[in-house]
Amino acid sequence: MRVGVIGLGIMGAPMARNLLRAGHGVTVHSRTRTRVDALVAEGATAAESPAAVARAVEAVITMLPDTPDVEAVVAGPNGVLDGASPGLLAIDMSTIAPAAARALAARAAARGVAFLDAPVSGGEQGAIAGTLSIMAGGERVAFDRAAPLFAALGRQAIWMGGPGQGQMTKLVNQVVGAATLAAVAEGVVLATRAGLDPDGVVRALAGGAASSWMLTEQAPRMQRRDFAPGFMVRLQQKDLRLALAAAAEIDVPLPVTALVHQLFMVVEAHGGGELGTQALVTALEVLAGARSGT
């Protein structure tokens, strides 16, 4: 397919590369010219605006930081919808508010454009390896059209229902992931204070009911003080705010999520907003009197 990718950050750039490797014709746009140039050197075509991307392709993928960014790029002046012809497939793979995804789907439909909200889980490693988990909302026919693109980007793509349901599923993912990460951070601090062997703890827990991706991937990073971002604290905080707001709309309490959100605020208060989410351990260390912060 001829596909556009708008947003070439930690996730978007490797996703564009995987689409190129799969044989798709890729047109790219980013506010950062060096990121565009790097993809052009690998075979992509540059476009000067989201509207120009839309005019050149059959499908557009957006991978952007937050809801206002997606709204501006898709529906703002010189945005995707301004350049779209009827039949275009617009796929937002960012994490945004479900209500915003539903509103964008309605605006796209009025222009004859099919819109999918298709956020992902798997982080930078999954984006690089092409093993993301993709959760999509929108019309089933649009999901089926996107299958060749999803095959290049992820290990699985699951249709979750109508507009906004992909985003709601991603927020459930973030709630579960953040709570699990907090439990791992607590375990790391407890094991450290108890003088346990770090590698031994991870091996022991990974063989039983406490095993998780957060344990096997993030606990070793916490133990060696590796806070390089695969997913930044400030973006996790954005996702947790979205989850808490969406849950409040349907009268669902999320007390654990609210606590984890507060713990991440400790990390941010110590200047850790750009660190990886595994830096959550530093908030627990502050509470334990082990360290003064990041």
Catalytic residues: 170
Distance CA 17, CA 23 (A): 10
Q: Is 214 helix (H, G, I), strand (E, B) or coil?
A: helix
Report CA-CA distances (Å) from 52 to 29, 60, 81. Answer: 9, 11, 10
Task: For strands 59-62 and 25-29, give the pairing.
Answer: unpaired
Residues 6+ apart with CB under 8 A from 184: 212, 214, 215, 218, 219, 222
Q: How many residues are given for the chain?
A: 294
Contact 192, 284 (CB under 8 A): no
Block residue for tokens 């509103």: 103
- 253 SS3 class: coil
What secondary structure does DSSP assign to 16-40, as a single string?
A: HHHHHHTT-EEEEE-S-HHHHHHHH
